[in-house]
Structure 1
Amino acid sequence: NDGRKELGKSVKLDDGPPARYQLRTKIINLDRLLDKDSKLRKFTFGKRDHKHPNKTVLLVGATGSGKSTLINALVNFVMGVKFKDKSETQTTAVSIYEVFGFEGKTVPYSLTIIDTPGYGDTRGIEYDDIITKKLQDLFCVPDEVDTIDVVGLNDLYLNSVTSLFGRDMEQNIVALMTHSDATEPTDALQALNEAKVKCARDKNNEPIYFCFNNCQKKKIKNLRAAQFAFKTSKDGMKYFTVFLEKSPPQSLQTTVEVMKERIRLKACIQNLEERVRTIELKQNTTNKNKEELSKYEEEMKKNQNFTINVEEVYRDKETIESAGFGLIIELPLVITVK
């Protein structure tokens, strides 16, 4: 009745400790691309029993904030893995993870986890836009993800992320402290309050949060330290899964509209920026041409065939990739004429 029975269906990756196993899953590329190109993949373990409810968790945060390790811990908890099993799943890239067949063991529901690549990546805001577009693509796949029960934030790069969701999602957004030492995360909570992050709050208007210790993914020689890390995460999972059970699912219709509007606004801003740039170029070239003409004003009066070089602004079209789809934009250019 626990996760140890499933190890026979898994591939052992590392003897550890802790030992690591990769679950055998059914994989579907929802964007219909080849494996090497797909950015929207679904991994399914087990077979869904529609007699049981399903809960969907969306995890967002910065690169390196511990989302994948947290997914491992959550899957382990749902499967009933104990400390002595010392196992964890291995996750990759942009993915949906479905875990079926453990309903009624640790939790009364099956689980769907949506793992996003890291917001705030060093590749910049353009990469964040690609992530947003991929989420929108996912939410628009028919009969795939219609509702979300909890959005888990595990990084302080938050306001730009929470702005993706409609107001109806606010009470479903919680903070996940992935590097906890089991004490109250005072600094993190203060940062949440100072940033006025939109999220679920308790009766004292404090952010609702759950603590986990992600050092369990490392090879820990000290058994007591390893047990403490495992217990911290297990306790966090107990509270989190209870909250998840009680959290009402929220439709993604408003969120999809927000994402579409963000893309439209970004396109409008880019267009305005280009217009301003064109105007500035025209002003600069006009002033430069006036200065050039003033130098030869007397000479031009004497010789009507006199020629000089002047600059002129025109626009050219160029195809670019933005937020995962192609755009044709006009770029202002400067040429020199006689």
Structure 2
Amino acid sequence: MDRDFSRYISESVKLDDGPPARYQLRTKIINLDRLLDENSKLRKFTFGKRDHKHPNKTVLLVGATGSGKSTLINALVNFVMGVKFEDKVWFEIVTDKKNKSQSETQTTAVSVYEVFGFEGKTVPYSLTIIDTPGYGDTRGIEYDDIITKKLQDLFSIPDEVETIDVVGLVLKATENRLDERTAYIFNSVTSLFGRDMEQKIVALITHSDGMKPKDALQALDEAKVKCARKENNEPVYFLFNNRQKEKLEEGSDDEATQSADKI
């Protein structure tokens, strides 16, 4: 591989031989609500050590259960680390659901992921990702309201979240209608911010085939979700294909396809 990831590989837990070889990053974990692990609903996972000489960008992700947020988070982390498709290696900060002890906590709590030490690899800043649990699961709208309350608790912790640079509304490219709960969730979270934040709310379209996600964009319009818009009033969006950790066959067409949407 062109880039040397041997240090991070040696400090990680191997999940699969691949290719791509998959590794779980070891993180420092803090319960921000000061509760025991089994009760905590506000946790921070830190990889690396922050250098305050570099700026930090914070992204808040909101999406329904099954929208592909976990893979998206891992994709953003690999992008910041400088991982390329041809490296045939994949790092995960959000664990696979097979690892129940940690993954259940990560998917039922508001989780803050900090990634430091890669400034200058692809971007000049470090990255913080705030992940909301799977909104819209079987526990009902009361549970969704608890998550919003946990976000408010996070924002009230002194010096913990300096600013939100981007709010990402995560939905599948094939989503042709937002059910009432998902629309309620998107609108509840975006209402936490003032109108000046609207231009920083973007759609992150997962499971994309690279084509324009007409269904998902129409769903956002019909639900009247507040977000940044282009000159033609179309929502600002970014595409992700969610296939990064799928095994590659040697000499397959996949190896020759090294397009930008592989991040």
Q: TM-score, normalised by structure 2?
A: 0.82
Structure 2 distance, partners of 1:36, 1:142, is 24
Match of residue 66 from structure 2: 64
Q: In terms of Rg, which structure is larger?
A: 1
Greater RCO between the two (CA within 8 Å, min separation 6)?
A: 2
Q: CA offsets, 1:52-90, max 9 Å, x none?
A: 110000011001111110010100010011222321214
Answer with 119-128 or 82-91: which moved more.
Answer: 82-91
Cα gap change, 1:22/1:63 in structure 2, threshold over 3 Å: closer, same or farther? same
CA contact (8 A) 1:31 1:41 kept: yes
> Partner residue of 1:24?
26
For residue 199 of structure 2, what is the aligned residue in structure 1? 171
Structure 1 residue identity aligned to 2:133: P
Tell me which residue corresponds to 1:89.
92
Sort the Cα spacing of 1:2 and 1:67 in 2 relative to 1 into closer, same or farther, 3 A: farther
Query: Pick from 179, 187, 200: which aligns with 1:162?
Result: 187
Contiguous gaps of at least 5 residues in structure 2: 95-102, 172-177
What secondary structure, in the 3-state scheme, does the structure 2 residue paired with 1:27 have? strand
Counterpart-to-counterpart distance in 2, 1:196 and 1:12: 43
Q: Amino acid of the residue matched to residue 254 of structure 2?
A: A
CA distance in 2, matches of 1:226, 1:32: 46
Q: Secondary structure at the match of 1:143?
A: coil
After superposition, residues 96-175 of structure 1 pair within 5 angstroms as 96-155=112-171, 156=178, 157-164=182-189, 165-166=192-193, 167-175=195-203
Q: 2:62·2:167 contact (CA, 8 Å) conserved in 1? A: yes
- One-letter amino acid matched to 1:112: T
Counterpart of 1:203?
A: 231
Q: State the match for 2:77 in structure 1.
A: 75
SS in 2 for 1:108: coil
Other structure's SS at 1:117 match: coil
AA aligned to 2:261 is: T
- Worse-matched range after superposition: 5-14 or 70-79: 5-14
In the aligned structure 2, how far is the partner of 1:130 from the partner of 1:3?
A: 39
Give the drift of 1:231: 4.0
Cα distance in 2 for residues equivalent to 1:8 and 1:153: 34
| Number of equivalences | 234
Paired residue for 2:261? 232
Which amino acid in 1 is paired with 2:25?
A: L
Q: Give 3-state SS (helix, strand or coil) of 1:31's partner.
A: coil
Percent of residue pairs identical: 73
The alignment's TM-score, normalised by the length of structure 1, stands at 0.65
Amino acid at match of 2:75: A
2:60–2:168 contact (8 Å) kept in structure 1: yes
Alpha-carbon contact 2:206-2:240 (below 8 Å) kept: yes
Deviations 1:117-143 (A, max 9, x none): 011112110110111111111111111
Amino acid at match of 1:8: S
Q: Offset of 1:216 from its aligned partner?
A: 2.4
Deviation at 1:45, TM superposition (A): 1.0
Asked whether the equivalents of residues 22 and 92 of structure 2 are also in contact (C-alpha less than 8 Å), the reply is yes
**Cα pair 2:25 2:91 within 8 Å, conserved:** no
1:58–1:151 contact (8 Å) kept in structure 2: yes
